[in-house]
Amino acid sequence: MTEKEKCAAGLLYNANYDQELIDERIACKDLCLEYNGLKNSDAEGRRNLLLRIIGNIKGNICIEPSFWCDYGYNIEVGENFYANHNLIILDCAPVKFGNHVFIGPNCSFYTAGHPLDVQQRNEGLEYAHSITIGDNVWFGGNVVVLPGVSIGNNSVIGAGSIVTKDIPDNVVAVGNPCKVVKNIDN
């Protein structure tokens, strides 16, 4: 089993010393660097680069520079996706955003995690668990979403939150760790 296959299976894998994964990250980060250097007035160039970076774009998309991801091909975004400045997506596993997702500045989505065992960690081993974001979700600034988390439809994640566990539909959730503070009644 290759390191990439181990990663896809949710097993411990070696991302630091596997040449295939290293090469894929370098290629993606080169594209991100190019994207981040484009003028805001070059809307066509920005869209074309996003189409090369992100695995699946279903509609309108706007990501304000800077934007960084590990592989790109594990990212899927729905209709009307907007992310403000300094978006980071560590997409070792799939990261799926629904329709009408709005992300404030300085937000991060991390699918990668590392073992507690120091020997395994020092060997460069890590794991990756997917992140799923529903439709109509809004993230305030400086939110971090950790591996394996799902966030339900129509929910709001307050600024500065660290999301460690799943968040249901139709709620406002805030804090570190992020917790539901109220239901949203439409």
Q: Which residues are catalytic?
A: 114
Q: Return the SS3 of 28.
A: helix
Cβ 72 vs Cβ 91: under 8 Å = yes
The DSSP code for 100 is S
Cβ 111 vs Cβ 129: under 8 Å = yes
DSSP string covering 129-172: --EEE-TT-EE-TT-EE-TT-EE-TT-EE-TT-EE-S-B-SSEE
Cβ 134 vs Cβ 20: under 8 Å = no
Q: How far is residue 130's CA from residue 169's CA, in Å, rounded to a whole number?
A: 18
Q: Return the SS3 of 37.
A: coil
Kindly list the distances between the CA atom of residue 39 and the CA atoms of 35, 46, 117, in Å, as whole numbers in the listed order: 9, 8, 45
